[in-house]
């Protein structure tokens, strides 16, 4: 099972109305299956600030967090998602990895 599939399966525990996980490893120098972007729309985020939402995601992922390098989180309540209409594009990586040559 790919890392993306593992993330999708695990994040389904937040009972999202919308969930997408993108493998953005190709935008970075660290190789494959290292950098991800997750867009999660869930009623579980109602009343929580960004920090508490991220903590909820990290708790849901548990040990899986140790298996990749980076996870960009975009967390929305259903109402926010309806207003926002989508997540922003990820910026281009500027390097800086100790693995860069």
In a domain, 97, yes or no: no
Give domain status of residue 100, yes or no.
no
Burial of 35 (0-12, 13-18, 19+ CB in 10 A): buried
Residue 84 DSSP class: H
pLDDT in tens, 5-46: 999 999 999 999 999 999 887 665 556 777 789 999 999 999
Q: Is residue 87 part of a domain?
A: no
Q: Please tell me the pTM assigned to this model.
A: 0.81
Q: Is residue 54 part of a domain?
A: yes
Tell me which residue range forms the domain holding 32.
Answer: 3-82
- Structure confidence at residue 101 (pLDDT): 44
Judge whether 48 lies within some domain.
Answer: yes
Q: Is residue 98 part of a domain?
A: no
What's the domain count of the chain? 1
Torsion over CA: 80, 81, 84, 87 (sign): positive
- Among 35, 78, 75, which residue's Cα sits nearest to residue 55? 75
Per-residue pLDDT tens over the stretch 44-98: 999 999 999 999 999 999 999 888 878 889 999 999 999 988 887 776 655 554 4
Can you give the CATH number for the domain in which 7 is found? 3.30.300.90
């Amino acid at each position: 099972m790919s890392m993306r599939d593992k993330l999708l399966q695990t994040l389904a525990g937040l009972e999202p109305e919308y969930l997408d996980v993108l493998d953005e490893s190709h935008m970075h120098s660290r190789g494959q299956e290292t950098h991800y972007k997750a867009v999660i729309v869930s009623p579980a985020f109602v009343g929580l600030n960004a920090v508490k939402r991220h903590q909820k995601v990290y708790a849901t992922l548990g040990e899986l967090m140790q298996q990749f390098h980076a996870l960009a989180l975009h967390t929305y309540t259903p109402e926010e998602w309806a207003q926002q209409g989508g997540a922003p594009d990820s910026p281009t990586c500027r390097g800086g990895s100790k693995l860069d040559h």
